[in-house]
């Protein structure tokens, strides 16, 4: 037991099963997206590679370097860096880099020349969401510049990537629009003399729904962790269980208030249990007044405002024992709340719940536990 009293169990078997399902679905063309500490799941790179992922994608270069430090030799792509980022370190670590602008291309090209290590880059096209990637107006110029760098040697465009704004709604007309922008970007690159071997567009939602073709690589993040933004399948397995333990218990009289502001007031005589986990550990304070836990096989409400380090559970007529385990969320098989329920209680998405969990709860990787949910034969339904 971690000194904090809380533990975050990572079900590696579930992540491996999800990865294998996407590998089957895509014919082995999965780039496992392990940004933000693998969506809060920690060290699972080796598991996803063993289960069929062909490469790894991360946002920033330090995330890629951490994978190399952990001994991961698979291809790694980093797509979100400022033009002042340590591209030299990325090149020395054999990390591929996405290029959203001429400034990035110049900085990467310069680092590659100085080191004498050729850079492998993926040109990133903005397809409509006006976020990351090169705007359509500047795309042809970026391709021309990239071709000039290729001709000088020391840099090679190996990929073209785009990202969809509305893939979780497969019928949204924007999916077709953005696919056409992507195809046009690929043609423009070809006309400028670039010959990238991989084009990649689809992430979890588009891969599950088939909203757009996957092209050569599917960048799968959420789905590896049992999160389906499109809500089109029920066969993915959630991969986290968060448990804590009771610090102390008390019986209180009707009219007793709980926590800051005394937002909750007991209506009847009841038992309260204190858990040593709060918003400082990543529990969303927004879920105050709605969230539940599972203890002794029953759902019990968390009452009062969440504090930084603690929450209070109302257990009614039942008095828990100090040190007794309580489940905050899990795959849902035993009736415990799921990450999806926590997201609804907090008016956010599952991604935010899993990525905000702090380091105070020890991450415990279980590689051989029984899979939390029976997998249907063919993997995710499409
Ligand atoms: C996070 C991210 C992904 C993965 O998306 P999921 O919906 O989690 O599969 C893919 N591509 C880019 C550019 C991303 O930032």
Q: What does the pLDDT read at residue 141?
A: 98
Q: How far apart are CA 381 and CA 235, in angstroms?
A: 7
Q: What does the pLDDT read at residue 3?
A: 60
Q: Measured on CA atoms in the order 229, 235, 236, 242, is the torsion positive or negative? A: positive
Residue 45 burial (CB count, 10 A):
21
CATH number at residue 359: 2.40.37.10
How far, in Å, from the CA of 202 to the mean position of ligand 1?
8
Q: Are residues 181 and 246 in the same domain?
A: no
Q: Are residues 90 and 210 in the same domain?
A: yes
How far, in Å, from the CA of 278 to the mean position of ligand 1?
28
Asked whether 275 and 244 are in contact (CB, 8 A), the reply is yes
Ligand 1 atom nearest to 205, measured from its CA: 7
Specify if 31 maps to a domain. Answer: no
Matching residue, tokens 């071709």:
147
Specify if 15 maps to a domain. Answer: no
Distances in Å between the alpha carbon of 263 and those of 19, 255, 276, 277, 307?
43, 12, 19, 19, 12
Specify if 223 maps to a domain. Answer: no
Confirm or reject: Cβ of 163 under 6 Å from ligand 1: yes
Identify the three-state secondary structure at position 315: strand
Specify if 173 maps to a domain. Answer: yes
The best mutation among 122, 221, 224 to test binding of ligand 1, ranked by most ligand atoms within 8 Å of the C-beta, falls on: 221
Which residue, among 282, 291, 288, has the nearest Cα to 309 in the 3D structure? Answer: 282
- Say what the pTM is: 0.94
Assigned token pair, 335: 């009736």
Q: Measured on CA atoms in the order 77, 83, 85, 89, is the torsion positive or negative? A: positive
pLDDT tens, the chain, 382 aa long: 456 689 999 999 999 999 999 999 999 999 999 999 999 999 999 999 999 999 999 999 999 999 999 999 999 999 999 999 999 999 999 999 999 999 999 999 999 999 999 999 999 999 999 999 999 999 999 999 999 999 999 999 999 999 999 999 999 999 999 999 999 999 999 999 999 999 999 999 999 999 898 899 999 999 999 999 999 988 999 999 999 999 999 999 999 999 999 999 999 999 999 999 999 999 999 999 999 999 999 999 999 999 999 999 999 999 999 999 999 999 999 999 999 999 999 999 999 999 999 888 888 999 876 544 443 333 333 3
CATH number at residue 107: 3.20.20.10
The best mutation among 41, 131, 163 to test binding of ligand 1, ranked by most ligand atoms within 8 Å of the C-beta, falls on: 163
Asked whether 161 and 189 are in contact (CB, 8 A), the reply is no
Matching residue, tokens 């780039």:
31
- Tell me which residue range forms the domain holding 182: 55-216
| 35 tagged catalytic | yes
Domain count, the chain: 2
């Amino acid at each position: 037991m971690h000194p904090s009293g809380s533990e975050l169990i990572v079900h590696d078997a579930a992540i491996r099963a999800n990865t294998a399902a996407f590998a089957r679905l895509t014919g082995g063309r999965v780039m496992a997206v392990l940004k933000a500490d693998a969506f809060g799941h920690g060290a699972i790179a080796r598991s996803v590679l063993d289960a069929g992922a062909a490469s790894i994608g991360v946002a920033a270069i330090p995330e890629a370097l951490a994978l190399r430090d952990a001994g991961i030799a698979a291809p790694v792509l980093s797509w979100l860096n400022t033009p002042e980022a340590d591209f030299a370190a990325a090149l020395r670590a054999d990390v591929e880099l996405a290029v959203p602008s001429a400034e990035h291309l110049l900085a990467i090209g310069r680092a590659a020349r100085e080191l004498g290590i050729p850079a492998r880059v993926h040109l990133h096209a903005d397809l409509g969401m006006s976020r990351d990637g090169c705007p359509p107006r500047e795309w042809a110029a970026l391709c021309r510049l990239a071709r000039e760098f290729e001709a000088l040697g020391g840099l090679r465009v190996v990929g073209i990537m785009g990202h969809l704004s509305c893939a979780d709604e497969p019928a949204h007309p924007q999916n077709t629009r953005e696919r056409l922008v992507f195809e046009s970007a690929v043609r423009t690159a070809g006309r400028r003399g670039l010959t990238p071997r991989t084009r990649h567009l689809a992430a979890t939602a588009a891969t599950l729904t088939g909203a757009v073709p996957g092209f050569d690589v599917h960048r799968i993040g959420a789905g590896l962790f049992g999160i389906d933004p499109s809500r089109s399948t029920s066969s993915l397995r959630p991969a986290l269980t968060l448990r804590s333990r009771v610090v102390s218990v008390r019986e209180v009289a009707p009219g007793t208030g709980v926590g800051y502001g005394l937002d909750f007031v007991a209506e009847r005589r009841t038992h309260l249990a204190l858990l040593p986990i709060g918003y400082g550990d990543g529990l969303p304070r927004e879920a105050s007044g709605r969230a539940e836990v599972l203890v002794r096989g029953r759902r019990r409400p968390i009452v009062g405002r969440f504090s930084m380090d603690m929450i209070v559970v109302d257990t009614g007529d039942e008095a828990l024992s100090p040190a007794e385990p309580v489940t905050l969320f899990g795959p849902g098989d035993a009736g415990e709340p799921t990450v999806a329920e926590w997201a609804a209680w907090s008016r956010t998405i599952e991604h935010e719940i899993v990525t905000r969990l702090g380091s105070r709860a020890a991450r415990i990787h279980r590689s051989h536990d029984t899979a939390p949910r029976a997998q249907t034969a063919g993997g995710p339904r499409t």
